[in-house]
Amino acid sequence: MLESLGLFLWSVVEAIFFPIPPDGLLMALALKKNGLYLGAITTIGSILGALIGYYLGIKGGRPLLKKWVNQERLYKVEALFNKYDVWVVMVAGFTPIPYKVFAISAGVFQSHIPRFIVASLIGRGLRFMLEGYFVMVYGAQIIDWLKEYFDTISLLLVAGIIVLVLLVTYLKRLVIKRR
């Protein structure tokens, strides 16, 4: 019980400011407990922390950014973020990219909260549920493998998805032009 609470709290704090992700603790605990349950706890804690980060972004992020970034560049970044917010948050949630930065940015740019939550649930949920599942099924031998290759695999997977989306978009435009 206390381990699960500790994992939950770690996940909350990590999604706001703490630099060490909860993955290591999740995997260690998944050796003894249900990995899917622990993955769900980690996901929920991370999303709760991200919502706190979102709120902090709303309250203080824009004035802080205005001090370091010129107005024109800030508007360009905001337009890009708002155009691709779901994809950005999902990718940041799944990969080793610092998720907290994007959670706070979502608040700064006032992304639609339900979309933010769904994107976070998909990105963080996939990451933590897969880790918990793999450790639960394959045991300790998978932990070293996940630590070594998870970042690379997640980045390659995201790159593949981006290439696939670009290819589908290109092919759709090509078909429309031929009509």
- Choose the weakest-confidence range: 54-58, 110-114, 118-122, 162-166: 162-166
pLDDT at residue 127 tops 80: yes
Of 101, 107, 125, the closest CA to residue 41 belongs to 125
The parent domain of residue 120 ranges over: 2-178
Say if residues 49 and 15 touch (Cβ distance below 8 Å): yes
Please give the share of the chain, as a percent, with pLDDT higher than 70: 100
State residue 114's pLDDT score. Answer: 94
Whether pLDDT at 131 is above 80: yes
> pTM for the full model?
0.80
pLDDT of residue 65: 75
Question: What mean pLDDT value characterizes the chain?
Answer: 86
CB-side exposure of 5: number of CA atoms within 13 Å? 2
- 29-33, 90-94, 128-132, 167-171: least confident range: 167-171
Q: How big is the chain, counted in residues?
A: 179
**What's the structural domain count of the chain?**
1
Residue 13 has pLDDT above 90, yes or no: yes
Nearest to 38 by CA among 24, 17, 18: 24
Residue 100 confidence (pLDDT) above 80: yes
